[in-house]
Amino acid sequence: MDFNSILSIGENALQLGLISSLTVLALFLSYTMLNVCDLSTDGCFTLGATVGAVVAIAGHPGLSIVAAMAAGIVSGFVVAFLQTKMGINSLLAGIIVNTGLYSVNIAVMGNSSLLNMNKTETVFTLLKEKLKGTVLEKEYTLIIALVAVALVVVFLSFFLKTKLGLAIRATGNNPDMVRSSSINPVFTTIVGLCVANSFTALSGCLLAQSQKSVNIDIGTGMVTVALASLLIGGVFMGKGKIPVRAVGVVLGSIVFRIVYAIALRFDMPAYMLKLISSVIVIIAISAPYIKSQLPAIKRRISLARGKGAA
């Protein structure tokens, strides 16, 4: 493997890591802050991709981003509405919406499960044109991903410090407190999930446009991959101020993709991605629990041994 190919693998992983970190940032808001595990993430990611693609193919590359995010907001609103106003368990609400979105996504793509954007003008091709002849000519994907991630990180850093942001965090942190305070948890949950899902949809939209195609499976397993990245990010920078944690989450996503790219180089088949992310999520979430159980387990083992000796 020569230096150039390593570089290109690294760059690919970086681009992919940055674009999917938008979904990870969405989960940072919904899962870490609001304490809602939003299982509609897969469908919402695909929704962003399909809506973005359809609008771009119709000839509106700029509008495609806005449309995708708006679609994400609607999807987030439905999930939040089901769990706050219709008495549906929050996990179930996510799964139901996710299932429904499958049909919606195929409908958006015009009864097809695949759309091609080879000749479509997208934000990526627009920037590519602009950069022609400059040093950055080949870096258009990276630039757009970086800008999008930077905007979302800055937005979250400010948003979570506002009165609304604090109320959303309190809703996730101590629901008991919020219920007996003047904060309306229905409102904060709806706003939180709408904002989070707009990022998820943006993430899907950018991924589809950067790889010039979208298929119905583009978002499958995204929620687990993003959770794995989120938890890896937490290991780096899980404590401290919100901006630091948000950057940590982005790093987590990039590290995840780089490790994955390296594993692929060692002949790991590509289809292993989802199994690996599942295992990472299992380890990251269960480790603290198992650690807390360890003293009891040790004691039981030593007791059993004592009995054996006697």
Partner 1 sequence: MLKMTGVSKTFNPGTVNAKTALSDLSLHVNKGDFITIIGANGAGKSTLFNAIAGSFMTDSGNIILDGKDITLMPEHKRAKSIGRLFQDPMRGSAPGMSIEENMALAAGHGGWLSSVSRKDKELFRERLALLEMGLEDRMKQPVGLLSGGQRQALTLMMATFHPPKLLLLDEHTAALDPGTAEKVLELTKTIVAENKLTCLMITHNMQSALDLGNRTFMMNNGSIVYDVQGEERNNLTVSDLLQKFKESVGKELDNDRMLLSE
Task: Collapse the DSSP code of 160 into the 3-class scheme (helix H, G, I; strand E, B; otherwise coil) and give the result.
Answer: coil
Please give the Cα distance from 256 to 237 (Å, whole number).
Answer: 15
Q: Which is nearer to partner 1, 23 or 171 (CB)?
A: 171
Shortest CB 178 distance to partner 1, Å: 8
| CA distance from start to end of the chain | 60
Provide, rounded to whole angstroms, the least separation between the CB of residue 36 and partner 1: 15
Contact footprint for partner 1 (CB under 8 A): 158, 161-164, 166-167, 169-170, 173-174, 176-177, 179-185
DSSP codes joined into one string, 254-288: HHHHHHHHHHHHTT--GGGHHHHHHHHHHHHHHHH
Q: Which is nearer to partner 1, 169 or 257 (CB)?
A: 169
Q: Considering beta carbons, is residue 89 or 174 the nearer one to partner 1?
A: 174
3-state secondary structure of 45: helix
**Measured from the CB of residue 249, what is the shortest distance to partner 1 in angstroms?**
16
Query: Which residue, 102 or 155, is less far from partner 1 as judged by CB?
Result: 155
Nearer to partner 1, 74 or 166 (CB): 166
Instruction: CB nearer to partner 1: give 180 or 292.
Output: 180
Tell me the angle at which helices 123-131 and 61-85 cross, rounded to the nearest 10 degrees: 150
Residue 224 CB, nearest approach to partner 1 (Å): 24
- Cα 25 to Cα 29, 115, 221: the distances in Å are 6, 27, 16
Contacts of 132 (CB under 8 A, 6+ apart): none
Report the distance separating Cα 14 and Cα 254, nearest Å.
6
3-state secondary structure of 88: coil
- Closest CB 155 distance from partner 1, rounded Å: 12
**Distance between CA 12 and CA 5 in Å, rounded?**
10
Cα–Cα dist 27/71, whole Å: 17
For partner 1, the closer of residues 191 and 208 by Cβ is 191
- What is the smallest separation between the CB atom of 287 and partner 1, expressed in angstroms? 19
User: Closest approach of Cβ 240 to partner 1, in Å?
Assistant: 11
How far is the C-alpha of 252 from the C-alpha of 67, rounded, in Å? Answer: 28
